[in-house]
Every structure is written in structure tokens, then in C-alpha cells.
């Protein structure tokens, strides 16, 4: 098997809170990455249709706020329903180009009633098939005013050439047990997706790489005041309370020994392409393998519940 895999980390700004136009931009970047030889293309957290930057800037915790209700309603309208085909342009491009994709989106799933949203990491294989949708286990801080807690259903890895790919959303990457759940499934290429921020990726990326003896792609978004459209609800308030830069990027790639393949990139939209060598994983596992020869399952074991959580179970209709 070929030990080499060419990957792309796409640092881009969404067409903020516009699902269809952001999906179109994702497809454009997917084509750009494929022209560079990428076999796996990764995008940041909540990229489609965007991160809820307004919450901490517009008194987001105020109860019964007409402004918050209006913005949240728009967010739900622009969120992704996988079952409705909103990601079809991405899956079709992945199939046509023969590339796998990791994409962060705000998901509004029908299996939870269709009116709550989750920060979800979607894995699409090179045939254009959605193989897993991982809903963020625990939204962080003010995110809980918008996003719902996810479950373990999407804690899965996927074989891609010589590599086994897994991923987590943003601060989930700080959760040791979530990381362990992926390590134990053979993960050796970890995709950490972030809304964007140099403060997020610079420290943790090489730590995860060194702990897992794996390659780590930390892929981030960009968001600026200039990305706020006049068409959005309360656009003037959003611009008045925004910073010039709300998400500064920080996309980077670390090798299994924690050294940089690509150092964190700030304040620039760019497709970063690198070729990874699986031999480096095998070399670093020689002296440490967190779930292999260095593990003690007789002493420490992790139990993962992969059941998709639903509010109702229908076992069957009553007989007529």
C-alpha cells in the first residue's frame, strides 16, 4: 500500500449565515484542493453556514430577547439538514474529484424534531457517500445558548489509503476520552476542526500529535466584520458589536513527533496542501502507542455509547 497521502486544510471565511452560497464556496475550494493533488480536503467547524459570533457580542443570554430570537430563527433556516440534501453539491464534487472531505456544519436534524441545531463534523468518502456525522458532545460556553449537546454515534474512524482518519470539533479536542475513543479505533490522522483562532491551535495541535503519535490537521475558519452582509437580520447591530477580526484562522498540520508540517497560518484565506508519510506514524509508535503496547486494558478501559439519541422511540403501531 502507498504510504503517502496528500491532504488539504482549507482556511476560508463562510458567506456568513448563507448556507447555499457557503456550500458553493466550499465546492470551489474543493476543486482548488483537488487540482493540488489532495486526496482528503478538510474545512473548519460550523463553516456551513457559520459560527454564531453574535451571541457574546449582543447580550445573547438575555431571556425572551426579540433580537436573539430573530437571529436564532435565521440560523435555523440556514442550517444544514443532511437528509434534505443540503450537502449534495459537496458530495457530488467529492465523487467527481475522487476526494474525501471533512466538513464542519451546523446541522438541524429531523431525528431530533428539526428545530434544534448541532455543531457537526461530516465525513464524506471519495465516492461521495456521507459515512458519519459526529455531533459535538458538549458545546462550549456561550455556544450552549444556540447549539444542543450531541452524542457518541459519530465517534468513528474511516480508512483512507494507509491512514485511518478521525476527527473532533473544537474544544472536544481537549477531551482525553473522546480522543481515546478514536485512538482505539486505529486513528493515525486526526482532524481537529475549529471556527478560527490562533489561540486555539498553536498549543494543542502538537500535543495531540505527540500523544497519539499521529498526524494532526487543525483546520480553522476566518471571520471579519467585512463578512457581515447587509441582508442579515440586525446587520447594523452585528457590525457595530463585531471586532475587525473575530476568527483569525490558525490552520496548521503537525507530524507524529509533534513537529510542524505546516505552522499556524493567521488572517489569510488559503488552501494548505501537504503530503503525509505513514511510515512516520509507524516510527513514532515504536516507543509509545496509547492504545497498543503502552495500554493496560486490564486496568483502564473506555466504554463508548454510540447510540444515536432521540426523544422518541416508536416500536410499532398498535394493531388495528
Catalytic residue among 25, 105, 107, 136: 136
Q: Decide: 238 and 229 in contact? Cβ < 8 Å.
A: no
Number of Cβ atoms within 10 Å of the Cβ of 82? 18
Alpha carbon distance 231, 173 (integer Å)? 34
Sheet with 118-124, strands from edge to edge, namely 130-135, 118-124, 100-107, 40-42, 4-11, 270-277
Helices assigned H by DSSP within 79-175:
88-97
Q: Decide: 253 and 7 in contact? Cβ < 8 Å.
A: yes
Considering only CA atoms, give the Rg of the chain.
19
Non-local CB neighbours of 206 within 8 Å, separated by 6+ positions:
216, 254, 258, 259, 260
Q: Tell me the CA distances in angstroms from 84 to 87, 108, 114, 211, 213, one per residue in order.
A: 8, 10, 11, 39, 38
Told to judge if 45 belongs to the known catalytic residues of this protein, a careful annotator would answer yes
Q: Among 66, 8, 13, which Cα is nearest to 41's?
A: 8
Helices assigned H by DSSP within the chain:
19-35, 66-78, 88-97, 176-183, 198-212, 235-241, 278-284
Told to judge if 25 belongs to the known catalytic residues of this protein, a careful annotator would answer no
Told to judge if 105 belongs to the known catalytic residues of this protein, a careful annotator would answer no
Alpha carbon distance 238, 226 (integer Å)? 11
In the DSSP assignment, the letter for residue 28 is H
Q: Decide: 224 and 195 in contact? Cβ < 8 Å.
A: no
Among all residues, which ones are annotated catalytic? 45, 136, 170
Amino acid at each position: 500500500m502507498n504510504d503517502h497521502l496528500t491532504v488539504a486544510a482549507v482556511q476560508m471565511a463562510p458567506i456568513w449565515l448563507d448556507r447555499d452560497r457557503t456550500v458553493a464556496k466550499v465546492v470551489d475550494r474543493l476543486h482548488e484542493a483537488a487540482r493540488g493533488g489532495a486526496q482528503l480536503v478538510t474545512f473548519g467547524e460550523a463553516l456551513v453556514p457559520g459560527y454564531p459570533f453574535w451571541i457574546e457580542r449582543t447580550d445573547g443570554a438575555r431571556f425572551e430577547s426579540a433580537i436573539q430570537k430573530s437571529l436564532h430563527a435565521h440560523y435555523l433556516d440556514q442550517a444544514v439538514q443532511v437528509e434534505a440534501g443540503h450537502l449534495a453539491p459537496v458530495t457530488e464534487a467529492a465523487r467527481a474529484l475522487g476526494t474525501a472531505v471533512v466538513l464542519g456544519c451546523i446541522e438541524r436534524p429531523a431525528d431530533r424534531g428539526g428545530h434544534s441545531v448541532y455543531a457537526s463534523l461530516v465525513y464524506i468518502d471519495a465516492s461521495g457517500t456521507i459515512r458519519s456525522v459526529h455531533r459535538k458532545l458538549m458545546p462550549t460556553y456561550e455556544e450552549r445558548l444556540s447549539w444542543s449537546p450531541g452524542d457518541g454515534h459519530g465517534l468513528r474512524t474511516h480508512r483512507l489509503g494507509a491512514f485511518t482518519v478521525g476527527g473532533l470539533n473544537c474544544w472536544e479536542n481537549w477531551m482525553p476520552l473522546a480522543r481515546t475513543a478514536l485512538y482505539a479505533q486505529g486513528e493515525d490522522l486526526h482532524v481537529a476542526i475549529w471556527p478560527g483562532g490562533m489561540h486555539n491551535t498553536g498549543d494543542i495541535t502538537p500535543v495531540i500529535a505527540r500523544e497519539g503519535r499521529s498526524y494532526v490537521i487543525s483546520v480553522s475558519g476566518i471571520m471579519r466584520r467585512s463578512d457581515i452582509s447587509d441582508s442579515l437580520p440586525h446587520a447594523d447591530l452585528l457590525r457595530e458589536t463585531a471586532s475587525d477580526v473575530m476568527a483569525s484562522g490558525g490552520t496548521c498540520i503537525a507530524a507524529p513527533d509533534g513537529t510542524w508540517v505546516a505552522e499556524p497560518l493567521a488572517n489569510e484565506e488559503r488552501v494548505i496542501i501537504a503530503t503525509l508519510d505513514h511510515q512516520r506514524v509507524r516510527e513514532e509508535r515504536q516507543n509509545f502507542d496509547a492504545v497498543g503496547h503502552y495500554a493496560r486494558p486490564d486496568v483502564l478501559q473506555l466504554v463508548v455509547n454510540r447510540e444515536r439519541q432521540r426523544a422518541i422511540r416508536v416500536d410499532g403501531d398498535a394493531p388495528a
